Structure 1
Amino acid sequence: MGVPGERAVPSEGAEKPAAPYRPGYELVAEQLLTYIAEQNMKPGDRLPTEQGLAQILGATRNVTREAIKVLAAIGRLSVRRGAGIFVAASPGALNDDRLAHFQPTQMDHVMMLIDYRQLIESDTARKAAALATPLEVRAIARSARSSLDAALSDDVQAFALADEQFHDAVGTAAHNLFLRSSVGTIRRLMSQTDILLLHGDVPGSMEAAGKQHLAIAEAVSSGDAEEAAELMQAHIDTTRHQVERKIRDRLFSLTPPVPARVPRR
């Protein structure tokens, strides 16, 4: 038996599994993001034409067009009729140009983002437990309960909405506009990974996430700042393991990806 957590290496001569199916537009979208990073392009910089990008990336014009549409939909490109294709503004309030080079399909970038999320959201929960008003406590509890109810009903869209409301409510209760803005930026970046890499599929158990939301809400309600921070850290850590497993399963799966469902974090 191998060491737990390690992937077995095929013996010499063993047949290697076929590469998993990936739509052409997704591969070209990855190539285009890499091209933007390699050219050190900044928000507002103009890209070559659709035909020019197709030639640079070695893709057909139709597939390149679909890749551009996807990247525009997630906020990475801006297509202006009659003007051209541009690198979109960074999603963060501080507009750090380096965020324009975030690669939502690269495992190291995704894990760095989750590390950052864990730091930001655990401190946000700590401050929320110390500073939340009664109205804000009720908003956190209400959204946490809604997320669990949606999970138990297997309602992905309702869960996505309640999940967003929960994390936003915690950010509001922290009474720190920079923390709240950072939480929003992280969620927007994670949504790019949901769409491009996970095809919008839920990476793990909605019910488990809903129960964690409730536990965090209870810690905030009781004013236990350290407990709230630890529970939020554990919640994000669960997301980390779920995303890692989902990506690993996808990379070694031989079946085509399921069409996108509503992303959640």
Structure 2
Amino acid sequence: MIFRKNAEGMQTSSKSVVDRLVDNIIEAIITKEFKPGDKIPTESELSEMMGMSRNSVREAVKILAAYGILEVRRAEGTFVVSNYNDKMLNPMVYGIILSSRDQAGLIETRRIVDTGVLSTAIEKVTDREMKELEGSLHNLKSELLRERPSAERIFDADVAFHQSIMKLTQNDILNGIGIFVDRITKLSRIKTTENIIAMHRLEELYEMHKEIITVLRQKDLSKVSSVIADHYKYWIRVEK
């Protein structure tokens, strides 16, 4: 068994005992030794297999449960989760947060996500969904054209608009990444919106979003990159 084989090499690793066990269990899942829905060995069994204390095993299981990889069921045992859940993205998100001073990197990440999302949405959007998107655009327009526009209200309407497009991908992982990127970039996006308000460019911002709807309706993949790039010109200017 790969799990047992990996256990033999754990003594030479420079990582902590708990980190080594976490890595070992993940490797067993990757190699399909533990499959989605499988019950993994008990604490005492893992302790014996790995040659470590039950406390260390318990700590490793807690970490993997927090990551959404394992599920502890009382009176039943510990199981590999069967489906994707948002907690699986947390380790990556924490890393992004810790490096959040790299605004250019955050902008690039969201731009890449938006480009992929729009391309995928073009292939899947239906007429009914187009009407729903037009409703989201109308809500955004209402906020943009208020007599006294609020940057935070515009941000909320903008997020709702883009999340509506995100859902069209039918990809939970991509949707989860998009939501986290929205959270991480909230402050810079609100500042950008304040800047656009001060420059009296809200009508232009509306037209940018309207163009996204046009590209979706026409299913024009050739315009995706240019539409997304145009969407970011003020944000990039503010961050610089």
TM-score by length of 1: 0.49
**CA distance in structure 1 between the partners assigned to 2:234 and 2:105 by the alignment:** 15
Unaligned 5+ segments in structure 2 are 1-65, 68-85
**CA distance in structure 2 between the partners assigned to 1:207 and 1:117 by the alignment:** 23
**CA distance in structure 1 between the partners assigned to 2:229 and 2:174 by the alignment:** 15
1:148 and 2:156 aligned: no
Paired residues of 1:150 and 1:159 also in contact (CA < 8 A)? yes
Q: How does 1:210-225 map to 2 (within 5 A)?
A: 210-225=206-221
112 and 229 in structure 1: CA distance in 2 versus 1, 3 angstrom threshold:
same
Match of 1:235 among 217, 231, 236: 231
- After superposition, the C-alpha distances for 1:81-120 in whole angstroms (9 at most, x for unaligned) are xxxxxxxx89x643353532425772xx111010011111
Paired residues of 1:121 and 1:233 also in contact (CA < 8 A)? no
160 and 193 in structure 1: CA distance in 2 versus 1, 3 angstrom threshold:
closer
Match of 1:135 among 128, 131, 146: 128
94 and 166 in structure 1: CA distance in 2 versus 1, 3 angstrom threshold:
same
Amino acid at match of 2:158: D
Identify the residue that residue 202 of structure 1 maps to in structure 2: 194
Q: CA deviation at 1:140?
A: 1.8
Matched position secondary structure for 1:140 = helix
Aligned pairs, how many? 151
**CA distance in structure 2 between the partners assigned to 1:170 and 1:119 by the alignment:** 15
TM-score by length of 2: 0.54
1:116 and 2:89 aligned: no
More helix by share: 2
Paired residues of 2:100 and 2:106 also in contact (CA < 8 A)? no
**CA distance in structure 2 between the partners assigned to 1:240 and 1:94 by the alignment:** 30
Match of 1:99 among 75, 93, 96: 93
Identity of aligned residues (%): 15
**CA distance in structure 2 between the partners assigned to 1:130 and 1:201 by the alignment:** 30
Identify the residue that residue 175 of structure 2 maps to in structure 1: 180
Q: CA deviation at 1:193?
A: 4.6
Q: Greater Rg, structure 1 or structure 2?
A: 2
For structure 1, which segment, 165-174 or 132-141, has the greater mean C-alpha deviation from structure 2 after superposition? 132-141
